[in-house]
Amino acid sequence: MPLHVGLITGLGPAATVIYYQRLTRIAADRGCRLDLTMVEANIREVLANNLSGRTREQAEIFAVLLHRLTAAGADFASITAIGPLFCWQETRALSPLPLLSAVAPLDMFCADQGYSQVGLLGTARAMRTHLFGQMVRTGVVVPGNPDAIGKAYQDMAVAGRCDDATRALLFDAGKEMMERGAEAIALAGTDLLLAFDGRDPGFPIIDALEVHAALLADLATDRKSLADVL
């Protein structure tokens, strides 16, 4: 049966809009009624807790939002970002709902496409931890300057726009990882679309947002069940 999707959004604003657009468009194309509830997290609060290592505190904040989604009738929940998964285990332990990670669909997609090794772009912590240890089927390449890349990405996500210097930095990082053996570059930060959307960086990309949104749409329109993905 179709599932009521619960999303924690706001991490940042550009990705929130794209998730909503993708889900409503796919549901309409399939002739389905979309059951969707979104609750807003504070991107600056999440970034501060991430940088300070306050995993339990952030998990408790997410738990409050997850209880709101439960009260709204959601069947499961997901966070529309990858960086906030720094407190994934703690959040899952507190969640009243089944949680779907944005990384698991990406890992499965990469493996299904036959990629043995992909480069990562995202927050510094996400890249350094190979997406918080959740890339279990696919090898990973990380940029040589993850701190600079991560800060540029976070600044872009908060601002909701990408300037030419940031775009050049991200494209160069992707090219450098391709030279070190990556077969494609995974946009493992949902606001990276600000830099890459409609542009050819000179290497193949895998958009984690698109992969995640497609799976959410399948769950919302009865193409897949939670048992298939959790």
Tell me the sheet residues that pair with 117.
139
Share of the chain above pLDDT 70, in %: 100
Tell me the average pLDDT of the chain: 95
pLDDT exceeds cutoff 90 at 62: yes
Q: Please report the pLDDT score of residue 190 as a whole number.
A: 86
Tell me the sheet residues that pair with 187.
121, 207
Share of the chain above pLDDT 90, in %: 88
pLDDT exceeds cutoff 90 at 11: no
Q: Please report the pLDDT score of residue 178 as a whole number.
A: 98
Tell me the sheet residues that pair with 205.
185
Where residue 197 falls among pLDDT bands split at 50, 70, 90?
confident
pLDDT in tens, 108-133: 999 999 999 999 999 999 999 999 99
DSSP letters, the chain, are: ----EEEEE-SSHHHHHHHHHHHHHHHHHTT----EEEEE--HHHHHHHHHHT-HHHHHHHHHHHHHHHHHTT-SEEEES-SGGGGGHHHHHHH-SS-EE-SHHHHHHHHHHTT-SEEEEES-HHHHHTTTTTT--SSEEE--S-HHHHHHHHHHHHHHT---HHHHHHHHHHHHHHHHTT-SSEEE-STTTHHHHTT---SS-EEEHHHHHHHHHHHHHTTSS-HHHH-
Q: Please report the pLDDT score of residue 230 as a whole number.
A: 85
pLDDT exceeds cutoff 90 at 201: yes
Q: Please report the pLDDT score of residue 221 as a whole number.
A: 97
Q: Please report the pLDDT score of residue 133 as a whole number.
A: 94
Q: Please report the pLDDT score of residue 7 as a whole number.
A: 98
Domain annotation for the chain: domains and CATH numbers: 5-102+210-229 (3.40.50.1860), 103-207 (3.40.50.1860)
Q: Please report the pLDDT score of residue 198 as a whole number.
A: 87
pLDDT exceeds cutoff 90 at 200: yes
> How many other CB atoms are found less than 10 A from the CB of residue 115?
18
Please list, in sequence order, all residues whose beta carbon lies within 8 angstroms of the beta carbon of residue 227, skipping any fewer than 6 positions away: none
Q: Please report the pLDDT score of residue 108 as a whole number.
A: 94
Secondary structure of 92-154 as H, E, C letters: HHHCCCCEECCHHHHHHHHHHCCCCEEEEECCHHHHHCCCCCCCCCCEEECCCCHHHHHHHHH
pLDDT in tens, 38-51: 999 998 999 899 98
pLDDT exceeds cutoff 90 at 60: yes
> How many other CB atoms are found less than 10 A from the CB of residue 197?
12
Q: Please report the pLDDT score of residue 15 as a whole number.
A: 86
